Every structure is written in structure tokens, then in C-alpha cells.
Amino acid sequence: MFINNFDPVAIQIFSLEIRWYSLAYIFGILFAWIYCKKILIKDKNTSILFDELISYLIIGIILGGRLGYVLFYNSKYYLDNLVEILMIWQGGMSFHGGLLGVLIATIFFSKKHNVNKYIFLDLISASAPIGIFLGRISNFINSELYGRETDVLWSVVFKKVDNISRHPSQIYEAILEGLILFFIIFLYTKKNYLLKPGLISSLFLIFYSLFRFIVEFYRVPDEQLGFIFLSLTMGQIISLIFFCFGFYLFSIKKNENK
């Protein structure tokens, strides 16, 4: 059993606090950008456009993540407290909302430059697990999105929550949605799937959704929602939708690239 009593603040300079979660966003985007630029992108024009796309993606991640959380997970509260929607420093971001934000930003950018959107979506999908890994580690440090009660040897007591031994569901997600997903997608990039726009994006949706669906069985449901339908959480229901769309997209793109 491990005792988790980490300080969510990584650096404090007088009254200025820099939190681990903020650093996860910053370094997640930075490392993903470096990975795409140094390893994945071979075309000079794509490389130049990708640099410009980053600012669009940052906006998409922040706005999409926040609005996704508000709409999917806590709409009743925020309808009564509209001003707090803007208070992102208080926490409350949705991965699926951020994913939709990135999708919209990429579509807008690609239409502006008359480029196939799947070229960029594939690059984002191939590098996204880097940010997901860092994000889940910061969730663990922050004692949030914690797991259900258990007595397994690797259980964790989150002192900021209670004294109950729980599954370290954030670590499960970091391993599955971060490390393992990264290497799965990496293997497909080695098979030249980046030359077949849309396949990497669809594989990301399939595997991420599968891993997220599994881990949700070990994670405490959102307190304000609980179980939604057939003992499934909101995260699982949304993951099922994205999983089905991923398979649909894969079948279409596989046929297009034959």
C-alpha cells in the first residue's frame, strides 16, 4: 500500500503557484510537438503548417476541455453558476471535450489552408498519448479521479480524500492510455500508416476508448453523476460512442486507401 499525500503545487514563488497539472499541459504539448517535428513529419510544408496549428490546438484543448466538462459532467451546477465556467484554475476539464475542441480547431485550420485534415489529426493522434500520460500522472499527484476501494498490494491511500485503500486508477490510465497506446500507434506509424490519412486517427479513437472503458470499472464515478445507465459511467458511455465512431472511420479510411 502506498500513501499519497503529494502537494499539487509544483513551484511556488511568493503568491504565484505553478501546479503539476499546468506543467503536464505545457510539457505534454511541448514533447508532442518535438516528437512530431523530429520523428514523424517528413514534408517541409507540413512542418511549417504544423507550427502554426499548435496555437489553434491549445485554444481547442482549453475551450473544448472546459466546455466538455461543463456540458457532459456538471451542467446543472454551472447553469446556476455561469461565471464559474471561466474559472478553469479551479479544475474541471474533460478529455473527450478537449478531443472535440482539437477536432474543430484542426478542421477550421485545414479548411483555411486547403489541406487534408486527417494529415494533422493523424499527427496529433500519434503524439497525444505523451500528453495523456503526463496528465494522468498529475491527476495522481493531485489525488483526483481516484479509484474504487480495494485491498490489492499496490493500492493507494489518498490522504487528501480519505483513509480508504483505493485502486490507483490514474496510474492504470497513464500506462494504458499513455505508454501502451503510444507504442501501439508508434508501431502503426512504422507501417507507413501516416501515408494513409485517417487510419492513425481511427486507431487512436478505438484503442483509447477501449482502454478508458476498461479503467472506468476501477475508477470512482463522478460524484455529481454516479452511474448513468446499466451501471456504466458517463466516461464509459462517451467512450462507447467514440469507439463506434473510430471503427466506422477505420472501415471508411481502410477502403479509401486500398
Number of domains present in the structure of the chain? 1
Selected residue with higher pLDDT from 173 and 82:
173
Q: Which residues pair with 152 in a beta bridge?
A: none
Is the pLDDT confidence value at 193 over 80?
yes
Q: Read off the amino acid at residue 43.
A: D
Structure confidence at residue 226 as a pLDDT band (50, 70, 90): confident
Rounded to an integer, the average pLDDT of 141-146 is: 93
Is the pLDDT confidence value at 106 over 90?
yes
Is the pLDDT confidence value at 102 over 70?
yes
Is the pLDDT confidence value at 90 over 80?
no
Place of cell 485503500: 165
Round the average pLDDT of the chain to a whole number and report it: 92
pLDDT digits (tens, 9 = 90+) for 7-45: 999 988 888 888 898 899 999 999 999 999 999 999 999
* Alpha helices per DSSP H over the chain: 20-35, 44-73, 75-80, 95-113, 117-141, 169-173, 181-190, 199-215, 234-256
Give the three cell numbers for residue 237: 458511455
pLDDT digits (tens, 9 = 90+) for 40-74: 999 999 999 999 999 999 999 999 998 888 888 88
User: Residue 29 has what pLDDT?
Assistant: 94
- Give the domain range for residue 250: 2-256
- Give the whole-angstrom CA distance, residue 199 versus residue 187: 13
Lowest mean per-residue pLDDT among 118-122, 172-176, 229-233: 229-233
User: Residue 21 has what pLDDT?
Assistant: 87
Closest CA to 215 of 158, 179, 169, 183: 169
User: Residue 82 has what pLDDT?
Assistant: 79
User: Residue 69 has what pLDDT?
Assistant: 86
